[in-house]
Structure 1
């Protein structure tokens, strides 16, 4: 099992991934460097996993043009949805889903978000690494990076990088 599930995500300094109305404007106002390490990370994956709300947000931001066409993409949803040319919709428990993915050789799996799906993956101990890019912004309230829950996860720092005003923290789950 050489594939890893990696949560690669940006957060405000106070731990939010978006405002209450799902805006990331605060993130785009920070001066980064290049693409803040995205391209380098993107080369390490061949599979993208996200929740339906994140998918809808991405499609809205990209004006309907799916940005991850060169990767296998799965979107978790509780409602019925028809697969598209680039996306397979999934309505099953995350544990068995990841077990099935790991039966196939490949590159790493990117858990894009959002908060609900991330929480489910954490509770099932399915995440191998966290790459969290911190923006020097405090937004006060919004959608938290980590939901409160009955779980603990011990991490080990693999490294840090900075991209102008952003700091990337790279953790491995012990």
Structure 2
């Protein structure tokens, strides 16, 4: 078993804990002055597998892109419904815990939980997240799509590091396990 393959949440958030506005806009992120790509490429090189929810996938597909942005990675989309796999994405409606633990037991690099408050909530409830990297923007949205949903599981974290990207601050945590 590869003990070094972690499930990592890497995401940007407003200071008040929202990942998007109610209408799914991320414009507030682009209105903040960052530095380079705010560490995304460096992180991206550490992963070979991406996991996202169907809402995040649908949002991504609505964006004007010349090609799918994650063609060089294994990409899985969790959905409650069955969909036919595409050239770039495999759809999953299996038990999340079993599926992720199977991935973790394969050789490879880290696994990126790309997005979706719903999916992240399931990952936290099932104790599947190993690291959390949140880049906070100096923006208060007041409402929107929350990063963390109310749940019945507490996560205790240990700070691994902080970085500053001009106006953005990245906090990197490891999930403490008993």
How many residue pairs match? The answer is 174
- What is the rounded CA distance, in whole Å, between the counterparts of 1:62 and 1:111 in structure 2? 22
Shift of 1:64: 6.6
What are the superposed Cα offsets for residues 72-113 of structure 1, whole Å, 9 maximum, x if unpaired? 000001112110011000001210011110221000000001
Supply the distance in 1 between the matched residues of 2:56 and 2:10 (Cα, whole angstroms). 14
TM-score where L is the length of structure 1: 0.98
> TM-score by structure 2 length?
0.95
CA distance, structure 2, for counterparts of residue 42 and residue 162 of structure 1: 18
Aligned-residue CA RMSD (Å): 0.9
Q: Which runs of 4+ in 1 moved over 3 A?
A: none
Given the alignment, which residue of 63, 88, 91 partners 1:89? Answer: 91
Whole-angstrom distance in 2 between the partners of 1:57 and 1:73: 15
Question: How big is the shift at 1:61?
Answer: 1.5
SS in 1 for 2:70: coil
Question: Is this contact kept in 2: 1:161–1:169, CA < 8 A?
Answer: yes
Q: State the SS of the aligned residue for 1:86.
A: coil
The runs of 5 or more residues in structure 2 that have no matched partner are none
Q: What's the counterpart of residue 42 of structure 1?
A: 44
Equivalent position of 1:148 in the other structure: 150
Deviation at 1:137, TM superposition (A): 0.1
Matches for 1:1-174 after TM superposition, within 5 Å: 1-63=3-65, 65-174=67-176
**In structure 2, the residue corresponding to 1:172 is in which secondary structure?**
strand
